Amino acid sequence: MTMALSGCGSSSGSGDVTLKVVAADYGNSAANSSEKYWNSLAKEFEAKNPGIKVDVDVRSWKTVDADVAKMVRDGEAPDIAQIGAYADYVKKEELYSADQLLSIPTQANFLARFADAGKVDQTQYGMPFVASTRLLFYNKGLFAAAGLDAPKNWDDIKADAEALKEQDVPTPFALPLGAEEAQAETMMWMLSGGGGYTDPVDGSYAVDADANITTFEWLQKELVGKGLTGSVPPGELDRADAFKAFTSGKVGMLNGHPTMMQEAEKAGIELGMVPLPGITGKSKATMGVADWIMAFKQPGHREQAGKFLDFTFEDKNVMDFVGQYDLLPVTYSASETMVADDEHKELRQFLEALPTAELYPFGKTSWAGVSDDIKKNIGKAVQPGAVPSEILARIGRDATTAENAE
């Protein structure tokens, strides 16, 4: 696993090198901040690699993508960034490719679906860091008190939410369309309604497809408009806040990722999980999410960055991270480890859905900007008095313009 590619020679000369690593925070408090993981990883790596120091900067998901983009624009790119998108840096030739960085065994160990999603023009630049699939979570205690079963279609979601409201549940259905991760909540609902971000035939953006408009009209009228999404407007509600409210027993239903299981258990909330249903039954697809790690050319530390990335993707380090946050590994060997370990049995239904889950259009160099636009504006589509088709059309036009400009 330590075999190096013959092309990965040193580009920095002799002497100590300090790698700057910017990473996203997966925790929701100081107690479980990702900073602890990265600092421990850096310390262990430094002990095994004299002459290479690692300076870790962990930032909120709300700002980390924009923060890294500014660093790059200002000529202060980090050596390594663990963020949400990579493709917009490829066109400007700002990233090393994976085969310029990684040992052959490390690169070959990525799950094929995610390795392919990390490619632009058949070359891999984005290295998948962790993944997850999403399910609809519900509070079993609140559901039992209201005499409810898990929803099987949109009518059930609405009826269950109304019943929870009658039981004085503050937020029957949490709809976090705030800046933290609105692009995920949006995609879950688009897939549930039979749509998605892109056209299934030609791959072009289809944000304002008829199915997506129908979805957001339903959310606006049947959930938000009927007071079933709580007192905070969806466009101002972040995922972390929605999760905290759920673990406080104030939310009946929300879409969530595996990390919720651990937090709910700590809070004594009995959690139910089902795929987010479609309009009349089973949804056409489950959403999969991958977060990415990449290395920038600007600092010129290719060899050292490659060594750190090889170390990061060793099974022990992968499992330490995904185990802490109940996420899914993106390598074959770590996935096999998770399947075989009963400690992670609750994650198996998420892991089973991963190979066929639908991902964001990561390979589009415009995606980072489009995602940011969605984060800032999609919440407006469900505001009382708004016209969802107009909001979606504007986002769609800007997405197409951005892609055509690339």
Quote the CA–CA distance of 148 and 140 in Å, as a whole number: 9
Nearest to 127 by CA among 149, 150, 109: 109
- H/E element, 348: helix 348-353
Q: What is the DSSP letter of 220?
A: I
pLDDT computed for residue 355 by the predictor:
67
Q: What is the mean pLDDT of each run of 10 residues along the chain (406 residues)?
A: 34 70 90 94 97 96 93 98 92 95 97 91 95 93 98 98 98 96 95 95 96 98 98 96 96 90 89 93 87 97 98 97 91 93 84 80 88 96 97 97 87
Helices (H), 103-230: 104-108, 112-117, 140-145, 154-166, 182-192, 210-218
Residue 175 makes CB contacts below 8 A (sequence gap 6+) with 185, 219, 223, 224, 229, 234, 237, 254, 382
pLDDT computed for residue 269 by the predictor:
96
pTM, rounded to two decimals: 0.77
DSSP assignment of 170-185 equals SEEE----STTTHHHH
pLDDT computed for residue 284 by the predictor:
79
Nearest to 400 by CA among 372, 364, 375, 356: 364
* Vertex 84 angle, CA 376 and 313, to 5°: 165
Cα–Cα distances in angstroms (integers) from residue 65 to residues 24, 71, 180, 397, in the given order: 9, 10, 11, 22
Q: What is the DSSP letter of 188?
A: H
Is residue 204 classed exposed, middle or buried when 0-12, 13-18 and 19+ CB atoms within 10 A define those classes? middle
Nearest to 63 by CA among 325, 372, 373: 372
